[in-house]
Amino acid sequence: MGELLNGLAQSRDGAIISRNLAENTAIGDRVALTINMDGIDVSTRVRIIGIVDGWPGQIAIEKPFVITNLGFIRDEIGYTPPTDVWITRDTTVSLDAVVTQARALGIPLLDVKDYQDMYQREFIRPERQGFFGMLSIGFIASTGLSVMAIFVSALAMLRQRSIELGMLQALGMPASTARRAVMLEQGLMSSLGIILGLSAALLATQTMLPYLQAGIQPYPSVPATQPITDWTTLTVMVIVYGTALILTAILAFSSIQRLRLADAVKLGDEN
């Protein structure tokens, strides 16, 4: 794209055309072009500097296209036609301030569209809620199951660990050391599970989801939007998992506090 843009900059009448429009022409050929503006046809000629299958915002399978210099078009028709201009805006500056300043500089604006506003309106369209709503339910369900798994694994572990720690206390281990061992074990395993689980989810999102085919016409093999990471939701999930971790640690601590050596030895005999 850089080479093509440089070619346009170096050639006033240069043009990039779609492959389905090229037919028998080749790069370097001069071809006739008719510009229709406001119902008036202006005939001119352009020199082909590139033949491509697509261009940002233009897909050849939808319709043929020609990319050329705005200055060339302006000189041929005698005035500057209305054009779409994309700008990068500092989010701390309001859109109204940008519009006011542009008009103060004498730049006429026919219409102004804010990408963030368009994105939000597109995101909350009713026909999109089924797909995203299903994902939300799945995430909530998986979060609930994960929290339950933390408690179940902690309860299953505590019975066996109570026997082991009780026997160690019978051999002389201080109760405070036993409590610290349980707290450290629970904290380490749960923290590793949270970190590795979220890391795997982020990795899968960035490497796999972009290749899922959304099935939206006329480009069924192209995703409708690129995946984004909702850090607010992830923060809430970390808080939920952290709370489950703390409750699990408290449960383990309470169980060790109530542990009696005789009960531990008895449980050991039963097992």
Closest CA to 253 of 176, 149, 167: 176
Kindly report whether the global pTM for this prediction surpasses the value 0.75.
Answer: no
Report the pLDDT value the prediction gives residue 257, as an integer from 0 to 100: 60
- Reported confidence tier of residue 135, pLDDT bands at 50, 70, 90: low
Which helix (H) or strand (E) element contains residue 55? strand 54-55
The residue among 52, 77, 102 that closes a domain is: 77
How large is the average pLDDT for residues 97-107?
88
- CB neighbours of 233 closer than 8 A, spacing ≥ 6? 139
pLDDT, averaged across the chain? 76
Q: Are 237 and 141 in contact (CB under 8 A)?
A: no
Total domains in the fold of the chain: 3
Report the pLDDT value the prediction gives residue 267, as an integer from 0 to 100: 46
131 and 265 within one domain: yes
Residue written as token pair 């409750």 = 247
pLDDT at 211 over 80: no
215 and 234 within one domain: yes
Report the pLDDT value the prediction gives residue 262, as an integer from 0 to 100: 46
Residue written as token pair 């070619």 = 7
158 and 101 within one domain: no
pLDDT at 148 over 70: yes
131 and 120 within one domain: no
Predicted confidence (pLDDT) per residue in 33-46, tens digit:
888 887 788 899 99
More confident call, 221 vs 162: 162
Calpha distance 194→139 (Å, rounded): 14
Ordered DSSP codes for 113-175: --HHHHHHHHHT-HHHHHHHHHHHHHHHHHHHHHHHHHHHHHHHHHHHHHHHHHHHHHTT--H
Report the pLDDT value the prediction gives residue 217, as an integer from 0 to 100: 55
26 and 160 within one domain: no
Q: Cα angle vertex 232, ends 230, 237, to 5°?
A: 100
Q: Is the dihedral of CA 92, 205, 139, 212 positive or negative?
A: positive
Q: Are 238 and 193 in contact (CB under 8 A)?
A: no
* Domain with 111 in it: 86-124
pLDDT at 92 over 70: yes
Residue 106, sorted as left (phi over 0), alpha (psi -120 to 50) or beta, turns out to be left
230 and 103 within one domain: no
Report the pLDDT value the prediction gives residue 259, as an integer from 0 to 100: 55
- Reported confidence tier of residue 269, pLDDT bands at 50, 70, 90: very low
- CB neighbours of 74 closer than 8 A, spacing ≥ 6? 80, 81
Report the pLDDT value the prediction gives residue 260, as an integer from 0 to 100: 53
159 and 28 within one domain: no
% of residues, the chain, pLDDT over 90: 4
195 and 98 within one domain: no
Report the pLDDT value the prediction gives residue 36, as an integer from 0 to 100: 85
115 and 67 within one domain: no
- Reported confidence tier of residue 116, pLDDT bands at 50, 70, 90: confident
Report the pLDDT value the prediction gives residue 48, as an integer from 0 to 100: 92
pLDDT at 250 over 60: yes
130 and 104 within one domain: no
